[in-house]
Structure 1
């Protein structure tokens, strides 16, 4: 082999000089930082009410079904979900960098009326947790104001 030529293949020799490499690394870093910001925010919910029940939709992207916990106590609903993100950057067979985050997200709701916990239902599909929470007993009486 000629003494002025590198010992490694040409593609590997030019990889650090590739013009889009820094752009790609910045984009991957931004995606990871965006995901961390999303995890730091409270769980987004949508609450609907009809005469018989409350329906809660909670957005939990990336959560596993087994990592979601729902606790009901009177008129209080507590949703806890584990959150994990892992990112690795590779170049060939060597690993350059690995970042990981693990934490928990929590949301507590207080509803205007007691909930029948025995007949409550929960379903998790496509990153959305749907809770159907039937109301317990008659609605509170309203006193008319004259």
Structure 2
């Protein structure tokens, strides 16, 4: 015999500290709370001929960014190096360093013409222009 429970959308408003309130609270990694967490935010748009990608990668040198395109799969990766030091007079109060990498991989609807693809990095924003590779062949399956 199964137990059926009626769904009440206002249950959490009535009892905000239910069992699920603290679920996973202790499991969150602490580095997520650190200042300067490496992130890569993407905007992906398209027109009839191209895909356009804008990726925000602040504080990274152009030499530390790698873009690879394989068919319709695009992978962006960057090495993040951050050092911060606070001094008060001749004393060092706080010194922090962060070294790591950040990457994003996504799949497009169509293949990319790798030979005509363009990449530009300026002011912390990576801009990609990925021309669509039209195969011109469509295959229609016969239903039996």
TM-score (norm 1): 0.68
User: 1:140: how far off?
Assistant: 6.8
* TM-superposed deviation, 1:95: 2.0
Structure 2 residue runs without a partner (length 5+): 1-32
Secondary structure class of the residue paired with 2:63: helix
Deviates more, 1:122-131 or 1:95-104: 95-104
1:93-120 Cα deviation digits (max 9, x unpaired): 2223311001000000100100000110
Query: Based on CA coordinates, which of the two structures has the bigger radius of gyration?
Result: 1
User: Secondary structure at the residue paired with 2:110?
Assistant: coil
Q: Size of the alignment, in residue pairs?
A: 108
1:42-98 deviations in whole A, cap 9, x for unaligned? x21011111111000111011111100000100000000111221112121222331
The one of 100, 104, 109 aligned to 2:106: 109
| CA distance, structure 2, for counterparts of residue 112 and residue 76 of structure 1 | 9
Q: Once superposed, what is the RMSD of the aligned Cα atoms?
A: 1.9
Q: Is there any run of 5+ residues in structure 1 with no aligned partner, and where?
A: 1-31
Higher share in helix: 1
TM-score normalised by structure 2 residue count:
0.69
